[in-house]
Amino acid sequence: MSKSDRTAVLFTDFQPFKRTIMKQIPIAAYLISLCMCLSAAATTAAEKDFEPVSGQAGKDVVWVPTPPSLVEKMLDLAKVTPRDFVMDLGSGDGRNIIAAARRGARAVGVEFNPEMVEYSNRQAEKAGVAGKAQFVQGDMFEADISQASVLALFLLPDNLTRLVPKFADLKPGSRIVLNTFGIPGWEPDQTAQAESECGAWCSALLYIVPAKVAGEWEFAKGRLKLQQTHQLLSGSYEVNGATVAVSDASLSGERIRFRVNGTEYTGTVKGDTIEGQPSASSGAPWTARRVGS
């Protein structure tokens, strides 16, 4: 076979192969393009900012957002002002803290989920309150709340029960305001209802942290004995071997009120001393000092 004949045969044999390759090139290009698009979509999804979803699981509680109208009602009930330091434990998307910061208060949210923390900080930036609102990653049961004057919370009763010792150690007069669920065994000082767009979450409950007054006090040449369950008091007054029941006794922060033999006494608890103010029935200032202090 001549050289020209062999060339003709090779060219003839190459034609089907060439046609196959040319048919496959568009398919390959499509597949490459599709892979590139999928890769770009995956990158975009990975870079997209986290968005919280109502009902998502958390470390200690499922996250459900408090309706905006109830957030404002809670802060109204707590009478939040720029003088306050507001904290939220399990702060979620940061709405309680951001709302408090809008009122001029310094505010800190403690949240276990780091993505929630980042999201909350972004929301605070958007709201223009990043200078007042701060969010930190942490366990709410380990958080230092000692400087808070207001706690704005949406937690379950079990969570609240675990936090009661921390609540009781807050400065007397500090306010705890809650969404719907109260603190077991502790009656709220006040309740209020959101008026619109609150769905299943419409109730705000206010607790005012009372001073610790349980024990014995030297009072009016006698001995005042008080039993305490949060802001509720009972007790007796002993003088010259006689015992009289204390009535109408209560606490609101540092403010104490009670009656002995029909005489009303009101005063301010300052550590181990109660400084009494004159009232219509007592008529003169008075002082009581804790026994054994």
Instruction: Give 10-residue mean pLDDT values along the chain (293 residues).
Output: 46 46 46 47 53 77 90 98 98 97 98 96 97 97 98 97 98 97 97 90 97 95 94 94 94 95 93 90 87 79
Burial of 116 (0-12, 13-18, 19+ CB in 10 A): buried
Task: Please tell me the distance from the alpha carbon of residue 150 to that of residue 175, in angstroms, as a whole number.
Answer: 5
pLDDT per residue as tens digits for the range 222-249: 999 999 999 999 999 999 889 999 999 9
What is the reported pLDDT for 41?
44
What is the reported pLDDT for 292?
81
Q: Given the DSSP bridges, would you call strands 85-89 and 106-111 parallel, antiparallel or unpaired?
A: parallel
Task: Please tell me the distance from the alpha carbon of residue 239 to that of residue 216, in angstroms, as a whole number.
Answer: 13
For 213, the token pair is 């007054």
What is the reported pLDDT for 63?
83
pLDDT per residue as tens digits for the range 144-187: 999 999 999 999 999 999 999 999 999 999 999 999 999 999 99
Q: What is the DSSP letter of 105?
A: -
Bin 191: left if φ > 0, else alpha if -120 < ψ < 50, else beta.
Answer: beta
For 172, the token pair is 């007397």
Task: Please tell me the distance from the alpha carbon of residue 225 to that of residue 107, in angstroms, as a whole number.
Answer: 39
Task: Please tell me the distance from the alpha carbon of residue 181 to that of residue 134, in angstroms, as a whole number.
Answer: 25
Contact 109, 136 (CB under 8 A): yes
Q: What is the DSSP letter of 221?
A: T
Contact 220, 263 (CB under 8 A): no
What is the reported pLDDT for 195?
84
- What does the radius of gyration of the chain's CA atoms come to, in whole angstroms? 34
What is the reported pLDDT for 45?
41
Length of the chain: 293
Phi, psi of 267, deg, nearest 5: -160, 180
- Taking Cα atoms as reference points, which of 250, 247, 287 lies closest to residue 270? 287
Which domains occur in the chain, in start order? Answer: 68-208 (3.40.50.150), 215-290 (no CATH)
